[in-house]
Amino acid sequence: MVTRISAKILIIDNDDKVRKSLEKDLGEEGYQVFSVTGGEEALQTLEKKEFDLAVLELQLTDMKVEEVMRRANRSYPETQLIILTEDRTFESAVRALQGGAVDYLLKPYDIEDLLNRMRWALSERATYEQKRALYQQVETTLKKLKHLEEIETSQDPPQGLIMVAEGALIDLEQRYIWRDEESAILTPNECLLLGMFPSLTHPAWLRL
């Protein structure tokens, strides 16, 4: 579960004033904040650390933000991306969403609005991680069950006491058959067949 204290946030913005303001505000909220000025530096940082969320300016000076988002999504698909920009065109919103952003916010922004959107994005990441952990747990359990089934099917059929017609009893574990005062010892193969196909003894067989 991602908490506010443990969440790592990457700010990518070439506006010094905005970047420093975000560093201060998010730091005061308890987030671990890292900031860079452009796309190349962002990609280098992403190669060294995994972030829970990144806040990106749509108009970067050194490279297209779509390339940053594409490579971030490829390397760390769980990282949530929020676009923060002055570009108010419809095309900019489309670019952001097509690039994999989970939200889109215009400058000048309201810090409380941004914080609420970040909390929602981080909760989505936490839900994704919980589902992934659950799927992995289910997959592991299924593998264990399959392994146990293979072990069970590879073993000899379960042995026990079988009552057959005319009051005769068969003890498969001891390889012994008796009725009244008469008795006989069964061969291993006879016990194996009777254990696998108890109907061979009588249609009304009963395993005790």
* CATH at 120: 3.40.50.2300
How far apart are the C-alpha atoms of 71 and 134, rounded to whole Å?
27
Q: Is residue 24 part of a domain?
A: yes
Least reliable range by pLDDT among 11-25, 38-52, 71-85, 139-153 = 139-153
Question: Measuring CA to CA, which residue among 106, 102, 95, 90 is closest to residue 52?
Answer: 102
Are 79 and 132 contained in the same domain?
yes
The answer to pTM > 0.85 is: no
| Separation between Cα atoms, residue 12 and residue 58, nearest integer Å | 9
Shared-domain flag, residues 65 and 115: yes
pLDDT, tens digit (0-9, with 9 covering 90-100), for 45-98: 988 888 999 999 988 888 888 888 888 888 888 889 999 888 888 888 888 888
- pLDDT at position 194 is 63
What pLDDT, on the 0 to 100 scale, is given for residue 112?
A: 95
Asked if residue 92 belongs to a domain, the reply is yes
Q: Mark whether 79 and 12 lie in a shared domain.
A: yes
| Residue 70 within any structural domain of the chain | yes
Residue 149 lies inside a defined structural domain of this protein: no
Query: Is 174 domain-assigned?
Result: yes
Distance CA 42, CA 10 (A): 8
Residues in the chain: 208
Domain that holds residue 127: 8-138
At 202 the pLDDT is 47
Instruction: Flag whether 61 is in a domain.
Output: yes
Number of separate domains in the chain: 2
Q: In this structure, which amino acid lies at residue 72? A: A
Answer yes or no: do 113 and 194 share one domain: no
Task: Tell which of 91, 123, 138 closes a domain.
Answer: 138
Residue position matching structure tokens 């913005």: 13
Question: In whole angstroms, what is the distance from residue 49 CA to residue 113 CA?
Answer: 27
Q: Are residues 81 and 174 in the same domain?
A: no
Whether pLDDT at 39 is above 80: yes
With contact defined as beta carbons under 8 Å apart, do 55 and 9 qualify? yes
